[in-house]
Structure 1
């Protein structure tokens, strides 16, 4: 079989892919320690938008110890604030709760929301179900503590990027099936949903762009360990879920030129088939994480605007 044809990259995305040396295309297990050492750190001023948010850190007891939640509360709030409950990306093996906060905070300002970000355990040191249980523990804590923190427990939107999008989707399934905390919505940004790693888009983008199927297999193998692939639970890989009914309103966006395109389109499609509410955006020429890669590009600005508008509509619904 020849090399499959690939969708083109947006010009701004293509330029970044050709000129930057910090993009992870493929990733082997032995590269994880080096990539962890190279992770970007942020100052408190960057995280809080120069003090627009009050930063605090909280702990909740989970199944295997304490889970840390980083909380950003808007200083200008005069009523209980809605909350974006954020789950960071990193292929299940990289990242911290502080990732993306400097770019997520402006979105939260636009919709008048607080941000809570969970510090979940990483693979391969901690395999399934460590990460998703940490995310769910943080969600339970947030819902139970909201009133005392000046937050609105009825308006929690779970949000995740890449692997964090998959964990957010899994936590939403857990909340549904355990009768857990109410979620007003779930916002899944280029989510990593399906360990089977055999979609047409995965094969199309092999070896190019950001986070190809080789990197994807490294992340999934680190997380799943010895679980036979025929027995992977839906709370590990939400793309395997047969029943997607009873989920909160869902926002999904993904690039047309990335590994996760087809599994993300399929997830939205099956939510619709189950009678659910989903908004799907497939951004033309977008590589994985394109809005972080080229934040000033028109494509990235359009993607951020679509997220804000969805959140505004969701938060403006009658209580």
Structure 2
């Protein structure tokens, strides 16, 4: 297990976050007080359709697979340098978000790595609670495998990853694929993943300020995703941190900021992966808030470069 940033006995935790990095002050001011609840999630979906991150199509082509189920966006680089692929899930707490949200990131990965990046849509809670999103991700995996030859993809070189809730979805999908057997992903890329429904139940996390994704947001999103159930203990593949046996999973890159609400659960999951014998690269960014890489800043650039370097090794 490789640990960057803080290597001392963790002076900070989800309950005791450090000051936010100065480089993130503008992002914190703009989105730090985001409120996600039963009144706002629909508005966030609408805004997501109306306001999209700038996507530069130079150097890539965009196509969609509508062959069955939810749509799948495929961003293919003009210049191929590998025969692998990256499947990348968007975030949004399982209650909002679209593949288009991560098109700028997907295009960057595609151009830098020289491989296709696949961005599947998945159904959102509370209208479509678990296992809808997981089933959509699972279907997307098999649709990619079925089209691998046509897309010029070697099935043994596919990395599964995602941001926030998409990272949690990726982790759970990797668990399900592992248990089913058959073709396995080459690696997993878990970017500040949403892994543990028990975090929402920790009322001591209501007091510290967690920019962008607060525990109040978390406390709405998890029950919405779980279909109103109290916890995910009896729902296999709903919350990745609930899985007892993490052995036999593919290599993982796991990253989070030290000011992120998810710090404790992500840190613990990376530790447990390593203890189970999984090759893990763990990056903890000092002063990083949730989704701090959605804007251009020096911390984001370094964080993303580490993801690129890890993924390149598995898709080349």
The equivalent of 2:7 in structure 1 is none
Shift in Å at residue 6 of structure 1? 3.1
CA distance 1:101–1:258, shift in 2 (3 Å):
same
The equivalent of 1:299 in structure 2 is 299
Shift in Å at residue 94 of structure 1? 0.5
Shift in Å at residue 201 of structure 1? 11
> 1:205 touches 1:212 (CA, 8 Å); kept in 2?
no
Distance 1:14 1:91 in 2: 23
The equivalent of 1:314 in structure 2 is 314
CA distance 1:315–1:150, shift in 2 (3 Å):
closer
CA distance 1:221–1:198, shift in 2 (3 Å):
closer
Shift in Å at residue 68 of structure 1? 1.4
CA distance 1:60–1:274, shift in 2 (3 Å):
farther
Deviation above 6 Å: which 4+ runs of structure 1? 199-202
> 2:213 touches 2:290 (CA, 8 Å); kept in 1?
yes
1:82 aligns with 2:91: no
1:71 aligns with 2:74: yes
Question: Comparing 86-95 with 194-203, which one deviates more in the overlay?
Answer: 194-203
CA RMSD of aligned residues (A): 2.3
Question: Comparing 184-193 with 297-306, which one deviates more in the overlay?
Answer: 297-306
Shift in Å at residue 41 of structure 1? 4.2
Q: Secondary structure at the match of 1:81?
A: coil
Shift in Å at residue 72 of structure 1? 1.2
The aligned runs of 1:44-63 (5 Å cut-off) are 47=55, 49-61=56-68
Distance 2:174 2:33 in 1: 28
The equivalent of 2:281 in structure 1 is 279
1:166 aligns with 2:168: yes
> 1:201 touches 1:260 (CA, 8 Å); kept in 2?
no
Shift in Å at residue 101 of structure 1? 1.1
Q: Secondary structure at the match of 1:93?
A: coil
> 2:162 touches 2:190 (CA, 8 Å); kept in 1?
yes
> How many residues in Structure 1 have an aligned counterpart in Structure 2?
302
The equivalent of 2:12 in structure 1 is none
Distance 2:103 2:204 in 1: 28
- Unaligned ranges ≥5, structure 2: 1-14
Question: Comparing 171-180 with 99-108, which one deviates more in the overlay?
Answer: 99-108
The aligned runs of 1:210-289 (5 Å cut-off) are 210-229=212-231, 231-289=233-291
CA distance 1:184–1:5, shift in 2 (3 Å):
closer
Question: Comparing 8-17 with 90-99, which one deviates more in the overlay?
Answer: 8-17
Relative contact order (C-alpha < 8 Å, sep 6+): which is higher?
2
